[in-house]
Structure 1
Amino acid sequence: MDALFSPVFGKTFSAFLFDMDGTLLDSTASTERVWGNWARRHGLDVDAFLPTMHGKRGIDTIRALDLPGIDPIAEALEIEKGEIADVDGVVAISGAVAFLSALPADRWAIVTSAPIALAHRRLAAAGIPIPTVMVTAEDVRIGKPSPEGYLLGASRLGVEAGQCLVFEDVEAGVRAGESAGASVVVVAATHGHGPKTPHPRITAYDDLHVRVDVAGMLSLRRVAAA
Structure 2
Amino acid sequence: MTATPALPQRDFSAFLFDMDGTILTSIKAAERVWGDWAAGHGLDVAAFLPTIHGKRTEETIRALELPGVDPVAEAAFITRAEIEDVAGIEAIEGAADFIASLPAGRWAIVTSAPRALAEARIAAAGLPLPAVLVAAEDVERGKPAPDPFLLGARKLGVKPEDCLVFEDTLAGLRSAAAAGMDSIVVTVTHAHPLETDVASVLDYADLRAVTTADGLLRVQRRP
Q: Deviations over 1:169-197 (max 9, x none)?
A: 01111111111110010000111354210
In structure 2, do the counterparts of structure 1 residues 161 and 7 end up closer, same or farther at CA, with 3 Å as the change threshold? farther
Per the alignment, residue 135 of structure 2 pairs with 136
Per the alignment, residue 44 of structure 1 pairs with 43
- Structure 1 unaligned blocks of 5 or more: 1-5
CA displacement at 1:20 relative to structure 2: 0.2
2-structure distance, mates of 1:31, 1:53? 9
2-structure distance, mates of 1:124, 1:53? 22
Quick check: 1:207–1:222 contact (8 Å CA) kept in 2? yes
CA displacement at 1:132 relative to structure 2: 0.3
Alignment of 1:51-70 (within 5 A): 51-70=50-69
Per the alignment, residue 209 of structure 2 pairs with 210
Per the alignment, residue 3 of structure 1 pairs with none
Higher mean C-alpha deviation, range 16-25 or range 210-219: 210-219
CA displacement at 1:47 relative to structure 2: 1.1
SS at match of 1:211: strand
Quick check: 1:21–1:27 contact (8 Å CA) kept in 2? yes
SS at match of 1:106: coil
- Structure 2 unaligned blocks of 5 or more: none
Aligned residues: 219
Per the alignment, residue 126 of structure 2 pairs with 127
Scaled by the length of structure 2, what TM-score is found?
A: 0.95
Per the alignment, residue 25 of structure 1 pairs with 24
- Amino acid across the alignment from 2:165: V
Q: Percent identity?
A: 55
Runs of 4 or more above 6 Å deviation = none
2:200 equivalent to 1:197 = no
2-structure distance, mates of 1:22, 1:63? 23
Quick check: 1:13–1:163 contact (8 Å CA) kept in 2? yes
- Amino acid across the alignment from 2:9: G
Quick check: 1:188–1:201 contact (8 Å CA) kept in 2? yes
Quick check: 2:8–2:182 contact (8 Å CA) kept in 1? no
2:160 equivalent to 1:161 = yes
2:96 equivalent to 1:72 = no
In structure 2, do the counterparts of structure 1 residues 155 and 194 end up closer, same or farther at CA, with 3 Å as the change threshold? farther
